[in-house]
Structure 1
Amino acid sequence: MSLILLVEQALNGLQLGVMLFLMAAGLTLIFGVMGLINLAHGSLYMVGAFAAAAVAGLTGSFLLALVASLAAAALAGVIVEITVIRRLYDRDHLDQVLATFALILVFSEGTRWLYGSVPLYLDRPEWLSGTVTLPLGIEYSAYRLALIGAGLAVAAGLFWMIARTRLGIQIRAGENDREMIGALGVNISGLYTLVFALGAALAGLAGALIGAIQSVQVGMGEPVLILAFVVIVIGGIGSIKGALVGAILVGMTDTLGRVLLPQAFALVMDASSATTAGSALASMAIYLLMAGVLLFRPKGLFGGATA
């Protein structure tokens, strides 16, 4: 493999990682603060993607589409939290899993009823449709490079919010002792709704950004949700830092594994067998990574750390 191709794939892995972070950050906040297993988080990713595609189709503006994705996912999150999730906080995790799985079906069929089963397509903005010349003469997609920058900017903003703002203090306190912050006068219900809306908005933003790379379709959030769960297990539940590190590890492992492993097998077997074996092992690589981390760090890399 050439150095240029390796760098390009590493950038693709970083781009996948920062998008997974947007999903995993909301998921780990919701679980850390509320103790809630939310299987419907991937549906909020889908809501953001469909809202962005619909608004972009009507207005032709990609920036308005991003705003619509944030607003639609956050609003859907608030409605879901108030009508369904609020009744699950004191229930065991099995009830939470069953209820949020039911929400997946509701969101999927509702989206299919509104938009049909035909995929939608979200065009990249013209000012990000070309390539950028990087050092070593590497030509890389301007849009993917913008995704990396946007994801890292959101991560920096989230770190700042958690560490420096009053809301961040309440979130960190809520992760450690919910009863105590309630006794101190913090509106627990309002805090939960706000955290859920924040997590939903991040998922919706991720869906909109990825929607310009792949098609927007019903059920697109579930495969990403599985990867997001892998991320928070690797990084440590409740840790934003862990979500970022875990997401980048997963993104790099998945992307580079699909390129390097078939080439490695090609050294010892014929091309067709090498491709089959390498692809099969590459699909398992992130789970092997998760198993290896848990073997030495059962709580994840940053388990127990809030930020």
Structure 2
Amino acid sequence: YDGIIEIKAVARDPGSRAKIAVISYDGSIDPVGACVGMRGSRVQAVVNELQGEKIDIIPWNEDQPTFLVNALQPAEVSKVVLDEEAGKIEVVVPEEQLSLAIGRRGQNVRLASQLTGLDIDIMTEEQESARRQAEFELRTKLFMDNLDLDEFFAQLLVSEGFTNLEEVAYVEVDELLVIDGVDEDTASELQARARDVLEAQNKAALDAARALGVDDTLIEFEGLTPQMIEALAKDDVKTLEDFATCADWELAGGWTTVNGERTKDDGTLEPFDMSLEEAQKLIMTARVLLGWVDPTELEADNVDEDDLTDDEAEA
């Protein structure tokens, strides 16, 4: 009533369980304790009104990883890795906490995902260790096969944080020189090999796309790599018009919620780490180029949105 405590987010499985995130604007008042009430009297009154629906009250935090740790209660979290650009988060829990973190029929992680607005991938410490080892071996093999390196040298590249050929090909030379045993000549040779391989891969991808009937309007469209164009062609997106009719989630992937159950929608360009925001910009650019959208109207809309107050924009 006084505005000291605010409910920032709510996620529910009606009749079963709810998670509510709250914040206090007075440092002397505990928002969770205030909502729970003396001996649980305040929250219990709400539970009774909802025919026994369980309610988890957690502290809201603007730091997303911290908020997620709170949202996954009562499970304990060992580590959180956030990919802000993709809107995804990886959560590592001890083996004995896995079932608790996921919850019965996935309820706990599903509600936590709805509460935070993030796609959550939960794994045990053992699974994370095995996955990282597999990634290390895969990247080592990538450099061995494509750059004609021995295993030790390839492992050095991976250990220094290189994950793909593009990074080797176009990184500043100084970043290669910090590797033990790499001088300027070696660095130049590594980059030349990486660029040659990438050029060959790009040509092969474009040849495959053209064989599938891709139009030059899509090939010449800025923002798509040859590999992306090939993937689009395999999904029957072969012209700029085809591309402009796509929805952002068809390219970047997303989630659909039906009867409280979240289902993953795979995006055509999701394997290339295409985000929803990037997909939206590319699609809108294509529509402008085709004359379907007036760019001056878009600019006017953006100006209008900038002039709105936060409350007006949310409304």
What TM-score, normalized by structure 2, do the two folds share?
A: 0.21
Question: More strand per residue: 1 or 2?
Answer: 2
Give the number of the structure with larger relative contact order, counting CA–CA contacts within 8 Å between residues 6 or more apart.
Answer: 1
What TM-score, normalized by structure 1, do the two folds share?
A: 0.21
Larger radius of gyration: 2
